């Protein structure tokens, strides 16, 4: 019994144990097959997700240069320091060191990180030098990483600020040409796969999945030296005349290129703080004003085109007043009976009005429309204003008359400069370009060449003794241009003490290369005439521009005008 009973029991036990082992094996085998075969992808993905990450690689933003390749906006590599708050908190005692290195307020840093403990990614400091970033990483703290980024730097600062605009901290164009050409400049970010450790630190750059493509270089039409000169002279005039603001534009009349465009007030685009629109606006393109007398040359164009007037045709402006219904048009003096050229030289409102009323109803509108008023110049500049120009056939007589001396329409300084470049190029209208243009630019004839030449001759008399614009003269060169002193429109009328001083002109008059417009908004220091406030800026900047371009002096081609020019040397002070 003692022999047999145990045997029976142990056999039974053996069966149970064997069965259990087999069952366990089957279960394990099934589990193994299940994990390795059926759930492989899911599990592998889950595992990899802990350690492998895909990250963008920032693309280098293209440089912006002036027409000669001088840098105006450059992207330099910088690092941004970021943390994973939870992991970074395990090294809490080391935080003061980090704060000191990064020049951060420790308490602010603590608050910032601890308040975001459930986040994966918090910036500590952006855009520091790679050398400083390396010092931070040398502390070897958990949960802290670097991200390569680019910082935009503007070497010419406030001098080119309005044209170039700026990017935000993420390197995206926000204003100006940085915004207009963002696609061209920004490039395409790449992607990389990185291996991270349990603490979230990047331990290895595994592979570049996609190379970042750098943005392209943008070569502008601006000439940096000319830009500096225009900036300096405009700023000086705005300060001296205690003006509210001002703009200046220089165009190459053969290509339509913007060689210089400056405004006051300006701002430093490198000093990223709060940018005020009153300082960042590119007024030369975004702001409109009534051009006043600067429009008169186009009134005279319409007069000559009609065949009803020649430069010598007489107009009676006496007694310096002209009544139209209940309105009265004034000249500053009684010029009596004068010819069309003298209407321009003296800037007679009465003369311009009488000329306009003697023309077909839509004549003025046609010329103003053809030289580009009332529509965008097509420059592509963000926020460009188109100005206002209404068809004249619905206008009353008084409205057609005021149009003749520049009220009832509005223009930007850029539009005005472009219209003057039509006078400079013998009647050809060309598109405006902020980018460098190579080779000749085709344009469209909008005024007959012989008429333009006649008007240019008259505009030369404006800067001669007896004209309103003598201070626009440039020693050695012939200048054609027009002054304007504009009362600003206010609600229900025109202000008696707020003016815009304007000068628009071209040089050298015999074979014009450049057109330039200067506007000074609300000079508040006594003098406010265009001829006194804006013309001197034109003279100095244009003189420098002609020298920079190596344009040959043309004054000897016109002996009759020489004496006058030397009577008041350019750049000299009265």
Chain residues that interact with ligand 59J, rule: CB under 6 A? 292-293, 329-330, 332, 347, 349, 402, 407, 468, 483-487, 494, 529-531
Contact (CB, 8 A) for 344 and 297: yes
Contact (CB, 8 A) for 480 and 513: no
Nearest distance, CB of residue 566 and ligand 59J, angstroms: 23
Nearest distance, CB of residue 294 and ligand 59J, angstroms: 8
Phi, psi dihedrals of residue 272, rounded to the nearest 5°: -65, 105
| Nearest-5° Cα angle at 534, 445 to 389 | 45
Identify which of 294, 220, 221, 290 has the alpha carbon closest to the alpha carbon of residue 259.
221
Q: What is the DSSP string of 347-377?
A: T-HHHHHHHHHTS-TTHHHHHHHHTTTTS--
Q: Which is nearer to ligand 59J, 254 or 485 (CB)?
A: 485
Residue 217 DSSP symbol? P
Q: How far is CA 391 from the centre of its chain?
A: 31
Q: How many CB atoms lie within 10 A of CB 35?
A: 12
Nearest distance, CB of residue 456 and ligand 59J, angstroms: 18
Q: CB-based burial of residue 193 (10 Å sphere; 0-12 exposed, 13-18 middle, 19+ buried)?
A: middle
Nearest distance, CB of residue 173 and ligand 59J, angstroms: 39
Phi, psi dihedrals of residue 430, rounded to the nearest 5°: -120, 155
- Paired sense of beta strands 258-264 and 314-316, if any: unpaired
Can you tell me the distance from the alpha carbon of 555 to that of 434, in angstroms, rounded to the nearest whole number?
A: 31
Nearest distance, CB of residue 280 and ligand 59J, angstroms: 29
Can you tell me the distance from the alpha carbon of 29 to that of 433, in angstroms, rounded to the nearest whole number?
A: 75
Can you tell me the distance from the alpha carbon of 180 to that of 14, in angstroms, rounded to the nearest whole number?
A: 85
Nearest distance, CB of residue 224 and ligand 59J, angstroms: 32
Q: Which is nearer to ligand 59J, 221 or 293 (CB)?
A: 293
Nearest distance, CB of residue 474 and ligand 59J, angstroms: 18
Which positions are annotated as active-site residues? Answer: 293
Q: Which is nearer to ligand 59J, 200 or 481 (CB)?
A: 481
Q: Which is nearer to ligand 59J, 90 or 495 (CB)?
A: 495
Residue 279 DSSP symbol? H
Q: Which is nearer to ligand 59J, 320 or 553 (CB)?
A: 320
Distances (CA, A) of 149 to 168, 189, 223, 269: 12, 11, 30, 19
Q: Which is nearer to ligand 59J, 91 or 486 (CB)?
A: 486
Identify which of 291, 254, 295, 252 has the alpha carbon closest to the alpha carbon of residue 455.
295
Residue 167 DSSP symbol? B
Cross-strand partners of 444 = 429
Can you tell me the distance from the alpha carbon of 267 to that of 261, in angstroms, rounded to the nearest whole number?
A: 14
Can you tell me the distance from the alpha carbon of 437 to that of 422, in angstroms, rounded to the nearest whole number?
A: 18
Q: Which is nearer to ligand 59J, 187 or 408 (CB)?
A: 408
Q: Which is nearer to ligand 59J, 189 or 320 (CB)?
A: 320
Q: Which is nearer to ligand 59J, 114 or 527 (CB)?
A: 527
Tell me: cis bond preceding 319? Omega within 30 of 0 counts.
yes
Contact (CB, 8 A) for 221 and 434: yes
Residue length, the chain?
574
Nearest distance, CB of residue 409 and ligand 59J, angstroms: 11
Q: Which is nearer to ligand 59J, 185 or 350 (CB)?
A: 350
Beta-carbon contacts of 485 under 8 Å, excluding residues fewer than 6 positions away, are 292, 293, 499, 500, 501, 502, 528, 529, 530, 531
Helix axes 349-357, 296-306, angle to 10 degrees: 30
């Amino acid at each position: 019994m003692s022999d047999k009973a145990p045997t029976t029991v142990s056999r039974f036990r053996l069966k149970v144990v064997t069965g259990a082992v087999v069952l366990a094996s089957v279960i394990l085998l099934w589990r193994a097959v299940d994990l390795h075969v059926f759930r492989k992808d899911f599990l592998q993905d889950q595992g990899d997700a802990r350690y492998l990450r895909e990250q963008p690689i920032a693309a280098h933003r293209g440089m912006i240069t002036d027409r000669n390749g001088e840098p105006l906006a450059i992207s330099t590599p910088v690092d941004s320091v970021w943390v994973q708050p939870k992991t970074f908190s395990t090294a809490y005692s080391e935080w003061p060191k980090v704060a000191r290195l990064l020049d951060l307020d420790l308490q602010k840093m603590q608050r910032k990180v601890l308040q975001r403990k459930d986040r994966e990614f918090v910036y500590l400091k952006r855009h520091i030098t790679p050398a400083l970033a390396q010092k931070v990483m040398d502390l070897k703290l958990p949960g802290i990483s670097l991200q390569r980024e680019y910082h935009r730097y503007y070497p010419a600062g406030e001098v080119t600020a309005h044209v170039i605009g700026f990017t935000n901290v993420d390197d995206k164009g926000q204003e100006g040409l940085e915004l207009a050409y963002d696609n061209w400049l920004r490039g395409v970010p790449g992607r990389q796969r990185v291996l991270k450790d349990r603490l979230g630190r990047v331990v290895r750059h595994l592979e570049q999945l996609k190379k970042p493509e750098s943005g392209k270089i943008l070569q502008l039409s601006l000439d940096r030296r000319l830009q500096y000169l225009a900036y300096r002279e405009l700023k000086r005039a705005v300060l001296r005349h205690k003006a509210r603001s001002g703009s200046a534009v220089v165009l190459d009349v053969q290509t339509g290129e913007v060689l210089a465009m400056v405004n006051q007030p300006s701002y430093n685009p490198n000093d990223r703080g709060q940018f005020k629109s009153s300082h960042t606006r590119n007024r030369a393109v975004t702001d409109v004003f009534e051009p006043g007398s600067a429009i008169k040359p186009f009134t005279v164009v319409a007069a000559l085109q009609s065949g009803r007037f020649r430069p010598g045709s007489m107009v009676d402006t006496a007694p310096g007043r002209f009544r139209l219904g209940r309105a009265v048009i004034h000249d500053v003096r009684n010029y009596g009976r004068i010819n069309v050229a003298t209407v321009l030289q003296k800037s007679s409102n009465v003369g311009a009005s009488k000329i306009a009323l003697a023309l077909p109803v839509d004549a003025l509108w046609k010329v103003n429309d053809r030289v580009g008023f009332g529509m965008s110049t097509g420059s592509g500049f963000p926020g460009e204003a188109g100005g206002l120009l209404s068809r004249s056939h619905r206008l009353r007589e008084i409205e057609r008359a005021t149009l003749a001396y520049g009220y009832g329409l509005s223009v930007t300084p850029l539009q005005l400069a472009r219209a003057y470049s039509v006078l400079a190029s013998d009647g050809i209208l060309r598109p405006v370009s902020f980018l460098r243009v190579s080779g000749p630019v085709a344009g469209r004839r909008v005024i007959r060449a012989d008429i333009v030449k006649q008007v240019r001759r008259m505009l030369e008399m404006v800067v001669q003794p007896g004209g309103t614009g003598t201070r626009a003269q440039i020693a050695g060169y012939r200048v054609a241009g027009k002054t304007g002193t504009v009362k600003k429109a206010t609600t229900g009328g025109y202000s008696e003490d707020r003016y815009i001083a304007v000068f628009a002109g071209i040089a050298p008059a015999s074979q014009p290369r450049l057109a330039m417009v200067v506007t000074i908004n609300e000079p508040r220091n006594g003098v406010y005439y265009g001829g006194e406030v804006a013309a001197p800026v034109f003279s100095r900047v244009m003189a420098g521009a002609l020298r920079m371009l190596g344009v040959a002096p043309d004054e000897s081609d016109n002996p009759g005008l020489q004496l006058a020019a030397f009577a008041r040397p350019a750049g000299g002070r009265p």
